[in-house]
Amino acid sequence: MKNEQVKQRYCPLCKELNHCGADSGECWCFHTEIPAELLERVPLELSGKACICQRCVEAFKKH
């Protein structure tokens, strides 16, 4: 597996598996607003390449 593919499987914030389903055509994030403030926390080199996991999005929204 290529290094880039590995990066895409992990949340860029918590480094856990992100369980992204975008490639299969359906993902939880299709129906969820991701706050801009949270997106700004993604390292520049992973921006647009790795998905934030649902757990990080929910935790951010609670605080």
- The whole-number pLDDT of residue 2 equals 46
- The whole-number pLDDT of residue 36 equals 96
Expressed as residue numbers, the domain containing 43 is: 3-62
d(C-alpha 24, C-alpha 8), whole Å: 14
What are the Cα distances from residue 8, in Å, to 3, 19, 53, 61, 63? 9, 10, 11, 23, 26
- The whole-number pLDDT of residue 25 equals 80
Q: How many domains does the chain have?
A: 1
The pLDDT profile of the chain, 63 residues, written as one tens digit per residue, is 344 554 588 999 999 999 888 777 888 888 899 999 999 999 999 998 889 999 999 999 998
- The whole-number pLDDT of residue 43 equals 94
Q: What is the pTM of this model?
A: 0.81
What are the Cα distances from residue 55, in Å, to 3, 40, 51? 23, 17, 12
- The whole-number pLDDT of residue 49 equals 87
